[in-house]
Amino acid sequence: MTTATTAMTTPHATAAAPAAVSADTTLSVTNLDMHYGAFRALRGINLEVKRHAVTALIGPSGSGKSTLLRCFNRMNDLVPGARVEGQVLFNGEDIYHPSVDPTEVRLRVGMVFQKPNPFPKSVYDNVAFGLRINGFKGNMDDAVERSLRRAALWDEVKDRLKQSGLALSGGQQQRLCIARAVAVQPDVILMDEPASALDPISTLAIEELMRELCRDYTIVVVTHNMQQAARASDWTAFMTMGEDRAGHLVEVGSTQQIFTNPQDERTEGYITGRFG
């Protein structure tokens, strides 16, 4: 296993081998390396993702933000040749342990993608989908309404629940995907550039929603929009790629600190638009 080289001076910094994960940490990453075949995509990642907060992953293209995000719910397992070394603890449990079912992980760690991708089904069925395949036995109408309300979409769609999800606007479709993700009551919601395909008002609505949702969920968001990271997140992690093209973490800190007084000059260069 590669030794971590990232110097971190924040509360996020983890010891080489954490004996116990603190209660306010949802995801704890230790010495994580990620390979696609012979290519090392991530190197020596050490990161603690705080519970009920929004953590933003920022950095130039190719710095491994999305790859890291996809390590959190084993989405990379679906890529042939993908291999993970190191540890990702979710509520203290190693999600890469051989006994762990990746489907179970993805149920608890939901994901929202860059382009809204509702199923070609009704608004109602989109939200109910995950619950049905998981054998949900409760009141489905209530569960659907609750999820749509959570995603701040209920008022806009309550009279057209039977309409196709694809008939909604882009911003509404993305909120539908968020409703679909929260329906199965995950602990974590991963968002991979959730607003990059949306207009400015829909973007602000998604950011507002993140602030709302982080009261009950832990959110990790990958974004290229620096203002979005500044507005919507509590913690910011800056990643870049090294000479070997492997993505690694440069600096992690409170969003306030990263955007007013970053400690690493690479972070400063990136957020002020002079590098990367």
- Which residue's CB is nearer to another protein, number 85 or number 268? 268
- Which residue's CB is nearer to another protein, number 33 or number 251? 251
The residues pairing with 254 across neighbouring beta strands, listed in sequence order, are: 235
- Smallest gap from Cβ 273 to another protein, in A, equals 5
- Which residue's CB is nearer to another protein, number 242 or number 269? 269
Query: For residues 48-87, which are near another protein according to CB under 8 A?
Result: 60
CA 160 to chain centre: 30
For residue 9, state whether it binds another protein (rule: CB under 8 A): no
Number of residues located near another protein, criterion CB under 8 A: 17
Residues 6+ away with beta carbon under 8 Å from 238: 58, 59, 249, 250, 251, 252, 258, 262, 264, 266, 267, 270, 271
Residues 6+ away with beta carbon under 8 Å from 181: 110, 111, 112, 189
The interface mask with another protein, positions 226-245, x = CB under 8 A, is xx--x---------------
- Smallest gap from Cβ 224 to another protein, in A, equals 14
Please name the amino acid found at residue 101. D
- Smallest gap from Cβ 154 to another protein, in A, equals 33
Give the three-state DSSP class for 243: coil
Other Cβ atoms within 10 Å of 45 Cβ, number: 26
Per-residue CA distances from 149 to 33, 135, 143, 178, 227 (Å)? 39, 22, 10, 11, 26
- Which residue's CB is nearer to another protein, number 25 or number 255? 255
Report which secondary-structure segment, H or E, holds 203. Answer: helix 200-213
Query: Which one of 77-85, 102-110, 111-119, 259-267 is the stretch in contact with another protein (CB under 8 A)?
Result: 259-267
For residue 204, state whether it binds another protein (rule: CB under 8 A): no
The residues pairing with 236 across neighbouring beta strands, listed in sequence order, are: 56, 253
The residues pairing with 57 across neighbouring beta strands, listed in sequence order, are: 222, 237
Query: Which one of 43-51, 124-132, 153-161, 257-265 is the stretch in contact with another protein (CB under 8 A)?
Result: 257-265
Q: Which of the 8 DSSP states describes residue 1?
A: -
For residue 224, state whether it binds another protein (rule: CB under 8 A): no
Query: Which one of 17-25, 75-83, 172-180, 254-262 is the stretch in contact with another protein (CB under 8 A)?
Result: 254-262
Query: Which one of 34-42, 78-86, 166-174, 223-231 is the stretch in contact with another protein (CB under 8 A)?
Result: 223-231
- Smallest gap from Cβ 31 to another protein, in A, equals 28
Positions that interact with another protein (CB under 8 A): 60, 226-227, 230, 259-262, 265, 268-269, 271-276
